[in-house]
């Protein structure tokens, strides 16, 4: 038996109630739920949802604290991606209405300025590519330089696909402090979602990112036809990765993609997932990302913030619109959740 497994079998809670077990194991000892336990949480009856969210919130407050990290994102290179991620309107392989676009440096600087004005401490530069080429890396380098020269000291993250070791090192040298590369879904489901590269290739990039000293950001999209068992599998695979941040997206079915006709996840199911992921990842930053507007609406977003979430993307996403940033900032004020300050993250 591994040390982790041994920790999990320490048991003074009723074995038949997963919330009682989680209270002792996760809240008191900070040990994330196992795959089997996450599945049990996902199978809880709807009348236990409020108890589940309350526990997940306690876990978040105990192990992460009350602060919320606010982030803005921008698409530096939109569309025309050679990969076939079935959820993505930016794949060049599907007949979606998204056309290729490059954002120029002044546009990037302005987007960073707009993001900083919301109080965000994090600005993520994203490109729809398999991996960055020399032109893209040059644009990122020039963009970061211009953002800094504009007097904006917001922290900069990047999401540029799969990396080589040399590219990882280049990004570190540019001052990129966090790298996003989503595992997207459970390893067992990944081949149904993407066929042009593997889950393991993504894992390799994340390993290099961590070893180079950048913070690792990796999450995924829920609602892509995965089973409850695969959702539990995904949660514990993320826990094994132990990223600094996990962005949780809910599928927005995109016209022209293979997932166009998928139904969005139902709100209660989405909230259950938020809480279950928190119980699997007690110390990890769990971020509300795309799809929450469609899946949860305003009321559901508040419930998610009180059910384990401790970070949000505000404003618009890459190709989709979000709700106005101010509405999220007002929500945080109403919930008495302070926004993480820049000095706290350095």
Is the CB of 255 or the CB of 338 nearer to other proteins? 255
Closest distance of CB 241 from other proteins, Å: 28
Closest distance of CB 111 from other proteins, Å: 5
Closest distance of CB 318 from other proteins, Å: 6
Is the CB of 29 or the CB of 327 nearer to other proteins? 327
Is beta strand 101-102 parallel, antiparallel or unpaired with respect to 69-78? antiparallel
Which residues lie closer than 8 Å to 24 by C-beta, 6 or more apart?
11, 12, 13
Q: Tell me the two tokens of residue 305.
A: 């913030």
Closest distance of CB 143 from other proteins, Å: 14
**Residue 267 near residue 82 (C-beta atoms within 8 A):** no
Return the bridge partners of 312, or none. Answer: 70, 288
Closest distance of CB 316 from other proteins, Å: 5
Closest distance of CB 322 from other proteins, Å: 7
**Residue 72 near residue 121 (C-beta atoms within 8 A):** no
How many residues would you count in the chain? 346
Closest distance of CB 264 from other proteins, Å: 8
Is the CB of 118 or the CB of 205 nearer to other proteins? 118
Is the CB of 5 or the CB of 261 nearer to other proteins? 261
- The Cα–Cα gap between 277 and 237 comes to 11
Is the CB of 100 or the CB of 227 nearer to other proteins? 100
**Residue 291 near residue 280 (C-beta atoms within 8 A):** no
Q: What does the binding site for other proteins look like in residue numbers (CB under 8 A)? A: 72-75, 78, 97-101, 103, 107, 110-111, 114-115, 118, 252-253, 255, 264, 293-294, 314-322, 324-325
DSSP alpha helix (H) spans, the chain = 3-9, 18-22, 35-42, 49-63, 105-117, 134-149, 165-174, 190-193, 199-211, 228-241, 267-280, 292-295, 297-305, 325-334, 342-345
Is the CB of 75 or the CB of 237 nearer to other proteins? 75
Q: Tell me the two tokens of residue 320.
A: 């989709």
Is the CB of 72 or the CB of 143 nearer to other proteins? 72
174: burial class by Cβ within 10 Å (0-12, 13-18, 19+)? middle
Is the CB of 66 or the CB of 97 nearer to other proteins? 97
Closest distance of CB 124 from other proteins, Å: 10
- The Cα–Cα gap between 210 and 10 comes to 31
């Amino acid at each position: 038996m591994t040390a982790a497994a041994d920790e999990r079998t320490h048991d003074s809670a009723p074995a038949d109630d997963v919330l009682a077990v989680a209270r002792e194991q996760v809240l008191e000892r900070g040990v994330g739920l196992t795959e089997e336990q996450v599945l049990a949480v996902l199978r809880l009856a709807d009348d236990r949802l409020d108890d589940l969210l309350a526990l997940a919130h306690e876990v978040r407050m105990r192990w992460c604290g009350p602060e919320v990290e606010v982030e803005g994102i921008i698409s530096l290179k939109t569309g025309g991606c050679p990969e076939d991620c079935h959820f993505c309107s930016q794949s060049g392989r599907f007949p979606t209405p998204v056309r290729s676009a490059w954002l120029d440096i002044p546009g990037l600087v302005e987007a960073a300025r707009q993001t900083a004005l919301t109080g965000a401490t994090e600005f993520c530069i994203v490109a729809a590519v398999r991996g960055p080429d020399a032109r893209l890396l040059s644009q990122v380098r020039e963009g970061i330089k211009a953002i800094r020269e504009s007097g904006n000291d917001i922290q900069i993250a990047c999401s540029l696909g799969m990396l080589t070791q040399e590219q990882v090192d280049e990004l570190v040298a540019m001052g990129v402090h966090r790298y996003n590369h989503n595992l997207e879904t459970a390893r067992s489901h990944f081949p149904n979602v993407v066929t042009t590269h593997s889950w393991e290739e993504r894992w390799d990039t994340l390993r290099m990112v961590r070893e180079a000293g950048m913070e690792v950001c990796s999450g995924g999209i829920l609602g892509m036809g995965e089973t409850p068992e695969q959702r539990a599998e995904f949660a514990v695979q993320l826990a094994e990765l132990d990223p600094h941040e996990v962005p949780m997206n809910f599928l927005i079915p995109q016209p022209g993609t293979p997932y166009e006709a998928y139904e969005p996840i139902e709100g209660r199911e989405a909230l259950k997932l938020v809480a279950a992921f928190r119980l699997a990842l007690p110390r990890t930053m769990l971020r509300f990302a795309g799809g929450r507007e469609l899946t949860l609406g305003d009321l559901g977003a508040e419930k998610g913030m009180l059910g384990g979430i401790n970070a949000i993307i505000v404003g618009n996403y890459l190709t989709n619109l979000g709700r106005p940033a101010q509405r999220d900032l007002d929500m945080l004020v109403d919930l008495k959740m302070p926004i993480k300050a820049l000095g706290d993250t350095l």
